[in-house]
Amino acid sequence: MKAIIIAAGSSSRLQLAEGKPKGLLDINGKTIFDRQISLFRSNGIDEIIIITGKHGLGIKNVSYINDEHYEQHEVLGSLMAAKDEIKGRVLTSYSDILFDELILLQLLEFSGDIGIPVDLDWEKSYDGRTHHPKSEADNVLIRNKKIISIQKRIEKTTGNDVIGEFLGPMILSEKGSEIFVENYLKLLQTHQGPFHKAPSLKNAYLTDMLQELIDLGYEVDPIIVNSKWCEIDTPQDLEKARKLFS
């Protein structure tokens, strides 16, 4: 099994020196990359690939794929710079997400084709998060245990609807990897104009591609998590992460 970490971009809100990847941020003596890689390796994921932009990372015993066009597209385009590596069972993650071992174990135990972790108790994490409000959350609408929609600012439409937040990682089976890559390659050949919530396929996020698969009739399964995780996008988030992962 392999893990692919998307780390081509940087964050203007964190004002990192020379636009370096957020994965190099220090969380109590260890970078985000250090923490992610250590967690993956301790749970049997030995093949780790990092998608980079203009900065080298100098991390040993991992593979790198350089996204030469990272400034010309969004996260989905960066992930697909590694499309030739999305084969077999694959875990993908962002470089600015921290999650504990319990969440990783849930992902590894997933037996479907395409799974994403969802936090149903997500709103409490936005208390005091004034620099990254709740409206920016990637919401997931679940109806009868199935994901119907994934986008920002979702509202319930029936009494059976449940809304959570997508954490960012994705787990694919061998078949799931084929579904994901094949449908993306078809879109490259045929799609024009806006793509779900993005102005174009080039400017799409992972959530847009997941919604495309849902609309095509593929099951993207929610993996309901209730453990420690955080996204680090602002100085407030960084302070919270250092408290949460002390």
pLDDT digit string (tens) for 172-209?
999 999 999 999 999 999 999 999 999 999 999 999 99
CATH architecture of 2-244: Alpha-Beta Complex (3.90)
Q: What DSSP character marks residue 238? A: H
Per-residue pLDDT, 246 = 86
Q: Confirm whether pTM is higher than 0.75.
A: yes
Radius of gyration of the CA atoms of the chain, in A: 17
Per-residue pLDDT, 55 = 75
- When pLDDT is averaged across residues 103-131 and rounded to a whole number, the result is 95
Band of residue 243 on the pLDDT scale cut at 50, 70, 90: very high
* Cα separation, 10 vs 89, whole angstroms: 28
188 alpha-carbon distance from chain centroid: 21
Per-residue pLDDT, 218 = 98
Per-residue pLDDT, 20 = 73
pLDDT digit string (tens) for 46-70?
999 999 987 778 898 999 999 999 8
How is residue 69 written in tokens? 């066009």
* Mean pLDDT lowest among 45-49, 139-143, 232-236: 232-236
Per-residue pLDDT, 15 = 55
- DSSP assignment of 66-127 equals E-TTGGGS-HHHHHGGGGGG--SSEEEEETTEEE-HHHHHHHHH--SSEEEEEETTGGGGGT
Q: What is the mean pLDDT of the chain?
A: 93
Per-residue pLDDT, 56 = 73
Per-residue pLDDT, 53 = 86
* Mean pLDDT lowest among 107-116, 126-135, 164-173: 126-135
Per-residue pLDDT, 21 = 82
Band of residue 143 on the pLDDT scale cut at 50, 70, 90: very high
* Cα separation, 128 vs 146, whole angstroms: 31
Tracing tokens 């787990």 back to the chain, one arrives at 171
pLDDT digit string (tens) for 6-44?
998 765 566 554 567 889 999 999 999 999 999 999 999
Q: Is 149 within 8 Å of 162 (Cβ atoms)?
A: no
pLDDT digit string (tens) for 71-96?
899 999 999 999 999 999 999 999 99
Residue count of the chain, please give it: 246
